Amino acid sequence: MSELYIGLMSGTSVDGIDAVLVDFSQPQPRLIQSYYYKFPADLRQSILALCLPGADEIKRMGDTDILLGNAFADAVQVLIQESQISSRQIRAIGCHGQTIRHYPDRGYTLQIGDPNIIAAKTQITTIADFRRRDMAHGGQGAPLVPAFHQAVFAKEGINRAIVNIGGIANVTLLNGNKKNILGFDTGPGNTLLDAWIEKYFQKSYDEKGAWGSQGNIDNALLEKLLSDPYFHLQPPKSTGREYFNLEWLKQYLKIERLPVDVQATLTALTAHSIVNAITPYFSEGEIVVCGGGVYNTFLMDHLQQKAASSFSVYSTHSLGVDPNWVEGMAFAWLARQTLAQEPGNMMAITGASQPAILGGIYQR
Ligand SMILES: Nc1ncnc2c1ncn2[C@@H]1O[C@H](COP(=O)(O)OP(=O)(O)OP(=O)(O)O)[C@@H](O)[C@H]1O
Ligand SMILES: [Mg+2]
């Protein structure tokens, strides 16, 4: 039987959908085709508006749920067309869905993008709603990608921290002895950088970190930001844009500063909080980065600077996996786990009381 799965990821940056077709027939998963579906501006705005409390939420959520379900299905159709593989050969789709709220302390998380529409339009069995079963066992529901990171990137004798820098950044700590794997959200990845540049320019992100690199890092501000309690919580922990947003930043910006200096400082905040999350566990090793943050050169330079010479910093590209598609591939892998009736969560990471088979299955 075929071992082809599709992964659909649309993360906290709310930039678009990463769609991947992956072959799991060999020990190392092989990316066969990828397709990026950029959200139209109005859909992006509807999603962002649902990420914080507001009027008429249920109606707006219903409308956006359907629009997103169709967008996911359309992304799959283009992906399949481009791959020239028949959809009959594809075992399942693993769809993360779009998070519009994540409140692990209250025991709920909400991802939308109706999987019924995806299954109906594509005629492929679709698995979605991966996080809530873990939460039902007392877990954070996040991060879920560490099990995949371990399956693909773990190497005997080498400490590897796999860091995904999306809207939020998360780390998977792969100990060289392949035991005691840990993983958690370190805090903001790109979300504050994106929000800050958007406030001043009509841009959704700081291309290569060019704007931020023209500013001066305000060390007093950086220290204040790093004093936020989230950075000092012990794992398991996870977070989202309902916590790290411009309102969060405002409480630390009591005095006037040059916008460009704030952008530089926010870039340093992402780099420092990531390295600070790794160094209590690893004194040396490799920091391997995936997600859109890889393309922010200024951020990557800061990561290397802060990590200093005990760590080498590079992208998953060097390990043979395109950094753009790692998280999407993880959801294809999680769908495969579900169909194999294998757990997708790791108790040590999410804090759940037991391993769980994740997701709801929507038959084709
Ligand atoms: N050329 C670039 N220069 C600077 N930043 C970039 C560039 N390309 C992408 N990015 C950043 O990466 C972000 C998108 O990253 P990505 O798609 O990995 O995040 P995500 O959708 O939140 O995913 P996830 O939740 O899976 O981590 C953009 O919002 C932007 O901030
Ligand atoms: Mg994205």
Q: For the chain, which residues make up each domain, given as ranges?
A: 4-140+325-362, 146-319
CATH of 146-319, picked from 3.30.420.40, 3.40.50.1010, 3.20.20.70, 3.30.70.270, is 3.30.420.40
Q: Is 190 in the pocket of ligand 1 (CB under 6 A)?
A: yes
How far is ligand 2, taken at its centre, from the CA of residue 38, in Å? 9
Q: Is 194 in the pocket of ligand 1 (CB under 6 A)?
A: yes
Surrounding ion ligand 2 within 5 Å at CB are 11, 13, 15
Q: pLDDT 10s per residue in the chain (364 long)?
A: 799 999 999 999 999 999 999 999 999 999 999 999 999 999 999 999 999 999 999 999 999 999 999 999 999 999 999 999 999 999 999 999 999 999 999 999 999 999 999 999 999 999 999 999 999 999 999 999 999 999 999 999 999 999 999 999 999 999 987 777 899 999 999 999 999 999 999 999 999 999 999 999 999 999 999 999 999 999 999 999 999 999 999 999 989 999 999 999 999 999 999 999 999 999 999 999 999 999 999 999 999 999 998 999 999 999 999 999 999 999 999 999 999 999 999 999 999 999 999 999 999 9
Amino acid (one-letter) located at 320: G
Q: Is 166 in the pocket of ligand 1 (CB under 6 A)?
A: yes
Beta bridge partners of 17: 37
The answer to whether residues 335 and 92 touch, using CB atoms and an 8 Å cutoff, is yes
How far is ligand 1, taken at its centre, from the CA of residue 340, in Å? 31
Residue found under tokens 């590897």: 160
Q: Which atom of ligand 1 is nearest to the CA of 207?
A: 3
Q: Which of 163, 164, 154, 148 is nearest to 333 (CA)?
A: 148
Q: Which tokens go with 354?
A: 């037991």
Nearest-5° angle of CA 76, CA 82, CA 86?
Answer: 70
Phi-psi region of 157 (alpha: psi -120 to 50; beta: other; left: phi over 0): left
Ligand in closest contact with the CA of 267: 1
What CATH number should be reported for the domain whose range is 4-140+325-362?
3.30.420.40
Cis ω on the peptide bond leading into residue 104 (within 30° of 0)?
A: no
Q: Is 185 in the pocket of ligand 1 (CB under 6 A)?
A: no
Q: Which atom of ligand 1 is nearest to the CA of 170?
A: 27
Amino acid (one-letter) located at 20: V
DSSP string, 37-53: EEPPHHHHHHHHHHTS-
C-alpha of 297 from chain center: 19
- Rounded to two decimals, the pTM is 0.96
Ligand in closest contact with the CA of 38: 2
Q: Do domains 4-140+325-362 and 146-319 have the same CATH topology?
A: yes
